[in-house]
Amino acid sequence: MNEHTGMYGVPSFFPTPREVVLKMLEKVTIEPGDNVIEPSAGMGHIARVIEELYLESPVYCIEKDPLLRAYLLAEGHALIWDDIFTWSGQMLYRHAWNNGVDVIVANPPFSNNYQDIDHFCRYWELLNYGSQIVCLVHAYSAYSPSSNPAYKPNIFWNWCEKVGIRREMLPANSFAFGEFATQADIAMIWGTKR
């Protein structure tokens, strides 16, 4: 897959439509006081919906792009770090942290050699045992079998089946009418770390 330029010229930035966020939230249970992370937060589309629906659960954002980080801060989101691959629980800004990650709700970048798989695996590392995740991935990463055992999606799905990750294709054109449209076929994957 080639890297696609998304909204504002940010690579692979396609904001998550509200209807997709609501569908994602059906796959997790957020309890009052749970620490919820939106990594690769973009402009906080996922965080905004969670904040509306779960007033007693803090939502923390991580975002690598400086333009999008500035937007998150200006909008009052709890931005805690700039790169999910270097974050280990520390705070970049003013927010207090306790008890680790309870729920991750994510729409990571898809392009550049299945980086959605790399992101999902990093998110999984950060979860507490008993914590939940729901994440969007490109259909190629979720439903692209090959006879080659070294094929990255095959390796990923063999591991996913072992740890109990489930998957579901989103309806065609789920992002076609979003804030910045894409025709990509997208799957949703979710599970609980045991």
Q: What residue segments make up the domains of the chain, in order of their start?
A: 7-192
Of the candidates 158, 146, 190, 188, the one whose C-alpha atom is nearest the C-alpha of residue 171 is: 188
Strand-by-strand arrangement of the 127-138 sheet:
78-81, 59-62, 36-38, 101-106, 127-138, 186-192, 166-169
* Residue 156 main-chain phi, psi, to 5 deg: -60, -50
Structure-token match 């696609």, residue found = 4
The residues, any chain, with a CB within 8 Å of residue 76's CB and separated by 6 or more, are none
**Mean pLDDT by groups of 10 residues along the chain of 194 residues:** 45 81 97 92 95 92 93 94 87 57 93 88 93 95 82 93 96 73 82 97
Domain 7-192: CATH superfamily, name plus number: Vaccinia Virus protein VP39 (3.40.50.150)
Cα–Cα distance, 85 to 103 (Å, whole number): 17
- pTM > 0.85: yes or no: yes
Calculate the alpha carbon distances from 12 to 98, 128, 129, 153, 180 in Å: 31, 28, 30, 19, 11
Cα–Cα distance, 194 to 189 (Å, whole number): 16
Of the candidates 170, 159, 111, 101, the one whose C-alpha atom is nearest the C-alpha of residue 135 is: 170
Structure-token match 């729409």, residue found = 107
The two structure tokens encoding residue 113: 């050699």
What pLDDT was estimated at residue 6?
45
Instruction: List the Cα angle 150/151/157 in 5-degree steps.
Output: 100
